């Protein structure tokens, strides 16, 4: 693009090199091939063997030709995930149980670690080394707030208990 504008912006290397008057909504997002009506009739890639349980969206007739095989559903979280996949991606009944399963899975992961005789270093997993190095004030503030919250709960519990005894 060579005009007055490009001179105005000549301190910006590459200004206007991709300016294209055709670039308006719908271009170039999609190269129209006329195949849209063919739906699922494309020549599918070879199907990967399903060696582990793979949940699939009920908005498609079968699994995709290729898929990940990591961490098949297991335990309570797995049961919840199987339930969630009975509902379409349009339904909260699909996504909210999946979020619940994720949280339950965290506890399952903790038990798995302990079962293997591994005690997770939660502080290291949360990156507290870097927090201490680069944000010591923030760490101290966080610890102080947590200590204050615990003290408050303990004090409230003690006062309630004390009152009950006096009655």
Tell which positions 61-90 bind another protein, by CB under 8 A: 62-71, 77, 81, 85, 89
Q: Which stretch binds another protein (CB under 8 A): 41-49, 146-154, 157-165?
A: 41-49
Shortest spacing between CB 124 and another protein, in angstroms: 6
The token duo for 67 is 């898929």
How far is it, in rounded angstroms, from Cα 95 to Cα 57? Answer: 12
How far is it, in rounded angstroms, from Cα 143 to Cα 140? Answer: 5
Q: Nearer Cβ to another protein, position 51 or 167? A: 51
Whether 128 and 136 have beta carbons less than 8 Å apart is answered as no
The token duo for 48 is 């990967």
Whether 108 and 75 have beta carbons less than 8 Å apart is answered as yes
16 sits near another protein (criterion: CB under 8 A): yes
Q: Which stretch binds another protein (CB under 8 A): 16-24, 149-157, 158-166?
A: 16-24
Residues 6+ apart with CB under 8 A from 6: 15, 16
The token duo for 15 is 């200004």
Q: Which stretch binds another protein (CB under 8 A): 124-132, 146-154, 156-164?
A: 124-132
Shortest spacing between CB 10 and another protein, in angstroms: 11
Shortest spacing between CB 112 and another protein, in angstroms: 8
């Amino acid at each position: 693009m060579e005009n007055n504008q490009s001179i105005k912006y000549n301190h910006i290397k590459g200004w206007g090199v991709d300016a294209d008057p055709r670039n308006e909504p719908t271009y170039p997002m999609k190269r129209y091939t006329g195949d849209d009506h063919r739906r699922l009739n494309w020549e599918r890639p070879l199907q990967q063997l399903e060696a582990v349980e793979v949940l699939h969206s009920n908005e498609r007739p079968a699994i995709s030709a290729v898929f990940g095989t990591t961490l098949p559903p297991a335990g309570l979280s797995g049961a919840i995930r199987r339930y969630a996949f009975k509902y379409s991606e349009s339904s909260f009944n699909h996504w909210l149980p999946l979020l619940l399963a994720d949280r339950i899975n965290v506890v399952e992961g903790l038990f798995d670690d302990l079962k293997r005789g591994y005690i997770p270093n939660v502080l290291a997993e949360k990156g507290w080394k870097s927090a201490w190095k680069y944000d010591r004030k923030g760490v101290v503030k966080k610890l102080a707030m947590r200590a204050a919250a615990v003290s408050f709960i303990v004090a409230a519990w003690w006062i309630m208990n004390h009152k009950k005894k006096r009655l």
